[in-house]
Amino acid sequence: MHKSNESTDISFEELRHRIILSENISPSERELLLGILEGRLIAPMTSDTMSKKLFSPDTHPERFDFIMQHVMNNPFIKSAHSAANEPPVESEKSKRSITDLSAWLRDNSIASLEFQNIAREFPFSRSEIYTSRMLLLQYSASENRNKGDIDYHNVNGVILVIIMRNTPDFLKRTDSSRYIHRFTEIVSDSGIRVPLLRKTAFVQLDKALEQYLNNSYNEDEDRELLLELAMLSDPNNPRVKEAAMENSALKDIYTDAASFTSDFTTQHQLLLDELEILDRNSTEKYWEEKGEEKINALYSWLHENNRDSDVWKAMDDPGYRARLLKEFNAVKENK
């Protein structure tokens, strides 16, 4: 398999060389990427390129609906068509690490299925902002109603399901046996319970896989959903694959995933997705070790040198921030 493609500027050999020489990936991660490149392994189904092909509400509404229905325990969630540009898209720099698949539902509400490929320590803040945008769009208008027809009594709610490939540290510290965390109501300090218009669920894929393999899940678990989540976490696990191939819907997903992985153009993009994700994960860990003091020192230095635009870029892009830190350290060493 020694190909190049007109739509890319990197050949099979160059991509292999980049994977082998990358300093930001572990041996197991390198084996996964080489396995994808050589056609031995399936690419992660949560990556930006793969998740869009496998779970789009336009091309595969039944797959989108299954995850939304089973995660939210609501069999009435039915997608009508995608809402690709609604609400506003995230930063281009975070596009590969976070994928949003949004859909208008048949009841004229909006639902979004989000795949997060990098562990984030602020998912609640982000989900609050994102669902607020969704709700504002919902309140403003819908396909079958004008804005003037909508008021506080008849506005539809919104649904956000966040699939986390890696569990952030704050969730690892929680004493819960569950891997799905649903927020569907608020409770006052006096005990009043009020349903939320913005319903959100966080799903820990790595924890779901662990419980599936160890048979340590709760007796009331949705085992069909658990198997799909385990597959999303590690499609190359032999035990998971064997079980999934006995389920017709999951077998179809596997077949599509294998086909996409073997296509060179798609494979190229999948590997670039993964390299960027692994690079950003490495950078995030680096910054956690360096601490907030180093970050603030960098930002102060940039501000003092009239580089405020770099501050904003660094806040949004960990890779760019790491390059600026190297520049900052070099300047300090030369003084």
- Residue 4: per-residue pLDDT: 40
Q: Count CB neighbours of 164 within 10 A.
A: 25
Residue 135 near residue 89, CB atoms below 8 Å: no
Report the predicted TM-score, pTM, of the whole model to 2 decimal places. 0.77
- Residue 6: per-residue pLDDT: 38
- Residue 228: per-residue pLDDT: 98
**Measured distance CA(303)–CA(195) in Å, rounded:** 45
Burial class (CB in 10 A: 0-12, 13-18, 19+), 7: exposed
Q: Count CB neighbours of 54 within 10 A.
A: 22
Q: Where are the chain's structural domains?
A: 48-262, 291-334
Per the DSSP assignment, residues forming a β-bridge with 164 are 116, 204
**Measured distance CA(156)–CA(135) in Å, rounded:** 8
**SS3 (DSSP) at 220:** coil
- Residue 57: per-residue pLDDT: 96
**Residue 39 DSSP class:** T
**Measured distance CA(103)–CA(82) in Å, rounded:** 4
Indicate if the alpha-carbon torsion angle 226, 229, 234, 235 is positive or negative: positive
- Residue 9: per-residue pLDDT: 64
How confident is the prediction along the chain (335 residues), in pLDDT tens digits per residue?
Answer: 444 443 356 787 888 888 888 877 888 889 999 999 898 999 999 998 899 999 999 999 999 999 999 999 999 999 999 986 555 545 544 555 788 999 999 998 999 999 998 776 667 777 888 888 888 877 765 555 555 566 667 778 899 999 999 888 778 878 888 999 999 999 999 999 999 999 999 999 999 999 999 999 988 889 999 999 999 999 999 999 999 999 999 999 999 999 999 888 888 888 888 887 776 666 555 555 555 567 778 888 888 888 888 887 777 677 788 888 889 888 887 76
CA–CA distances in Å: residue 232 to residues 3, 164, 165, 205:
29, 10, 8, 7
- Residue 13: per-residue pLDDT: 85
Q: How many residues does the chain have?
A: 335
Residue 237 near residue 220, CB atoms below 8 Å: no
Q: Which of 281, 320, 319, 277 is nearest to 33 (CA)?
A: 277
Tokens 């939320």 belong to residue: 196
Helices (H) then strands (E): counts for the chain:
14, 6
Tokens 């997608």 belong to residue: 79
Q: Which two tokens stand for residue 276?
A: 């960027």
Q: Which two tokens stand for residue 169?
A: 């540290």
- Residue 227: per-residue pLDDT: 97
**SS3 (DSSP) at 70:** helix
- Residue 266: per-residue pLDDT: 86
Contacts of 45 by beta carbon, 8 Å cutoff, 6+ apart: 51, 54, 231, 232, 235, 253, 257
Backbone φ, ψ for residue 288 (5° rounding): -60, -40
Residue 193 near residue 221, CB atoms below 8 Å: no
- Residue 318: per-residue pLDDT: 72
**Measured distance CA(116)–CA(164) in Å, rounded:** 5
In our burial notation (b when 16+ CB lie closer than 10 A, e otherwise), range 189-213 reads: eeeeeeeebbbbbbbbbbbbbbbbe
